[in-house]
Structure 1
Amino acid sequence: MTALAEELLAVRDTGRDFATQPALRLDRLVRAFYQGSRKIEVLNGASADIFPGQAVALVGPSGAGKSTLLHISGLLETPDGGRVIINGRDCTGMPDAERTRVRRVQMGFVYQFHQLLPEFSALENIMIPQLILGRTKKQARQRAAQLLGSLGLADRVDHRPAQLSGGEQQRTAIARALANDPRLILADEPTGNLDPHTAEHVFDALIHLIRTTGVAALICTHNLDLARRMDRVLRLENGMLVEVQPLALR
């Protein structure tokens, strides 16, 4: 375990108070799919609250519906029943344009593969979502440089994705997810494409930014060692979310 990881564990175990209003509330979500005449219930009343400053692991077996849950949480998919409440606002029945705005302003996404635009530099990749939101080039450039610097990439700002290592690419993707100061980060296997050593450092960087910015984060992972180091663990079982103590996770 790295020194930063030990520091983050110590911070987690001091009993920090989180904000009382959840950044994300999942309220009795229901989602089913059909294969021919067969109905497959993926979510069956899944509920959870994710608070600012919390890193929450989402675990469960393959095929349990973790990606579906993340897509619904990110307003990319609509549940068959239940509600998705973001910062106190019910977003479930919003029209597409408003859902897109909520995603753009209040959410950041980190994927297993970095999804960086190959023709742009690391700095430019982080500037783009800010420019779309309406920030000036100067503001976007300053914010992008600050984020890259906080992730140890100050000397890589002008490099394109192909010139970056796998860990550097993923740290750049994390910086992009935080570019617009979101209230909520949704991450789907953010270290799943990395070797163990690199995954450790990328995970530490992600958790460090969650701690320092106060953003809420729901992080889907198969890596139980990483899940144990988060504030909370939610296991998806039989369509329901069950709270598991991180250090007791097996």
Structure 2
Amino acid sequence: MMRDASVLETSAQHIPVLRLMGLQRVFHQGTRDINVLAGASVDVWAGQCVALVGPSGSGKSTLLHIAGLLETPDQGNVIVAGRDCATLDDHARTLIRRAEMGFIYQFHQLLPEFSALENVAIPQMIHGRSRRDAEVRAQKLLSSMGLSERLDHRPAQLSGGEQQRTAICRALANRPRLILADEPTGNLDPKTSELVFHELIGLFRSEGVAALIATHNLELARRMDRVVVLDGGLLVEIHPQSV
């Protein structure tokens, strides 16, 4: 029997979009073991922007790769929208990434031979949306980021900030529940970084996604909803203003 849509929605509100439980990850260098993650745990809820901070080399990228189902932890669980992904095969993990997640990197990774509009439309078409519908969604997202006059420009014709804003739109194109971002403004000058960050957070909140954002920029981290510090392989939540 099908459940009422309102019941499903209410139930989903009580389940974190991302739950990381007791993650452990050890790297071996010769005879030396490096415990990058030693029981890291965190919940990320819909509509929240969570900053992930920590010293260089503390394992932030590793944590994001595991959360994004790109790596497998030695121990622990990754639960996405209530589904435990620990025992899934590669194909099932790929489907979850495609349906539930969007990724933003320090470098935009746009397809150089396609326009901004096409870069945002193509992931939707791969996901099964018609070209027309994909382009309508792409235009809406790009316009919301101030790029309505740049739709037909290829990445080489865009500034660094415009390229990164296009990449943010691409990450949101398929309406993911979860965004994972690794230093999304780290390759930008301070003024452009501030502008892109402001637009990024605004768009995330308007879309209602959960976001886990690794950043070295503590000023930006203070303006997120929550801050978790990765140190010694564990995640500790602190008040944003204490960063």
Same fold (TM over 0.5): yes
Task: Say which SS state the counterpart of residue 98 (structure 2) adopts.
Answer: helix
The corresponding residue for 1:115 is 109
The corresponding residue for 2:173 is 179
Distance 1:99 1:194 in 2: 32
C-alpha deviation, 1:213, in angstroms: 1.0
The corresponding residue for 1:34 is 28
Residues 1-250 of structure 1: pairs in structure 2 closer than 5 A? 19-249=13-243
Amino acid across the alignment from 2:144: S
Alignment deviations for residues 18-64 of structure 1 (CA, whole Å, 9 cap, x no partner): 94310000000000000011111000000000000000000000010
Q: TM-score with structure 2 length normalisation?
A: 0.94
C-alpha RMSD over aligned residues: 0.9
C-alpha deviation, 1:209, in angstroms: 1.1
Gaps of at least 5 residues in structure 2 are 1-11
Alignment deviations for residues 122-151 of structure 1 (CA, whole Å, 9 cap, x no partner): 000001100110000011010000000111
C-alpha deviation, 1:248, in angstroms: 1.4
Amino acid across the alignment from 1:197: K
C-alpha deviation, 1:187, in angstroms: 0.2
Task: Say which SS state the counterpart of residue 32 (structure 1) adopts.
Answer: strand
Distance 2:203 2:70 in 1: 24
Alignment deviations for residues 85-127 of structure 1 (CA, whole Å, 9 cap, x no partner): 0000001221001101111110000000000000000000001
Give the fraction of aligned pairs with identical amino acids, expressed as a percent: 67
Please say which of residues 205-214 and 110-119 is displaced more in the overlay.
205-214
C-alpha deviation, 1:198, in angstroms: 0.1
| Runs of 4+ that moved beyond 3 A | none
Distance 2:240 2:13 in 1: 20
Alignment deviations for residues 177-214 of structure 1 (CA, whole Å, 9 cap, x no partner): 00000000000000000000000011011100111111
Gaps of at least 5 residues in structure 1 are 1-17
C-alpha deviation, 1:168, in angstroms: 0.3
Task: Say which SS state the counterpart of residue 173 (structure 1) adopts.
Answer: helix
Distance 2:185 2:151 in 1: 21
Amino acid across the alignment from 1:87: A
